[in-house]
Amino acid sequence: MSTLEGNRLRNEARIKYGPQLRNSFKKLDVDQSGFASVDEMSKFLAKKGFIKNSDDSISDFNASMTRYLNKLNYGKEKPGELSEDEFVKFWADLYALFDKIDKNGDGFISISECCQYLLERKIKHQLTKNDLLSEVKRFFNKVDTDRNGKITLTEFFVKLPDLELQIINKTL
Ligand SMILES: [Ca+2]
Ligand SMILES: [Ca+2]
């Protein structure tokens, strides 16, 4: 999402989700360092029930977080951690992407919403529509552990590297 529309959506998400993100930041920064470490974020999400409190879920979250911190060039003030402003920007951008894919706005991404979005992105290494659908189904099998065909923002984020690397081979 590097277009003008992308910028607009990111700004909107910062306004919409900024207050709750700042609130979360204060709660999860338990050592009150003014920075959110990957560990503080995963503990907070596990406590809230957004990720499972299991070694696998936490290590997946940590791997994804570390990947995007580096890739998107975060942690400028303190390597590997987010300042409050960086935290808001990072997660608001993710909300902007998520909301864009979540066309019906129910707070979940469904298999068809995910397919539709990927088709609209005109993926470079062309998969046929059917191949794409089976890849997305495979992705959902990994992510959607309660098998209701819908995934939340956190579930989406935890497995986003898989989606990017295995299905589309590019950055969303
Ligand atoms: Ca901290
Ligand atoms: Ca939806």
Residue 81 DSSP SS3: strand
**Domains defined along the chain, listed by start:** 1-101 (1.10.238), 105-172 (1.10.238.10)
**Cβ(137)–Cβ(157) below 8 Å:** no
For residue range 11-33, list pLDDT tens digits in order: 999 999 999 999 999 999 999 99
Please give the helix or strand (H or E) that residue 67 lies within, else none: helix 55-71
Distance of CA 120 to the CA centre of its chain: 19
Cross-strand partners of 37? 81
Q: In this structure, which ligand is nearest to the CA of 81? A: 1
pLDDT over 90 (residue 56): no
**Cβ(155)–Cβ(57) below 8 Å:** no
154 C-alpha vs ligand 2 centroid, how far in Å?
14
For residue range 98-122, list pLDDT tens digits in order: 999 999 999 999 999 999 988 887 6
62 C-alpha vs ligand 2 centroid, how far in Å?
26
Half-sphere exposure of 32 (CA within 13 A, CB side): 0
95 vs 125, more confident:
95
Q: In this structure, which ligand is nearest to the CA of 82? A: 1
pLDDT over 60 (residue 1): no
15 C-alpha vs ligand 1 centroid, how far in Å?
24
pTM above 0.95, yes or no: no
6: Cβ contacts below 8 Å, ≥ 6 apart: 96
Which of 150, 162, 158 lies closest to 46, judged by CA? 158
Which of 49, 13, 42 lies closest to 28, judged by CA? 42
**Cβ(152)–Cβ(140) below 8 Å:** no
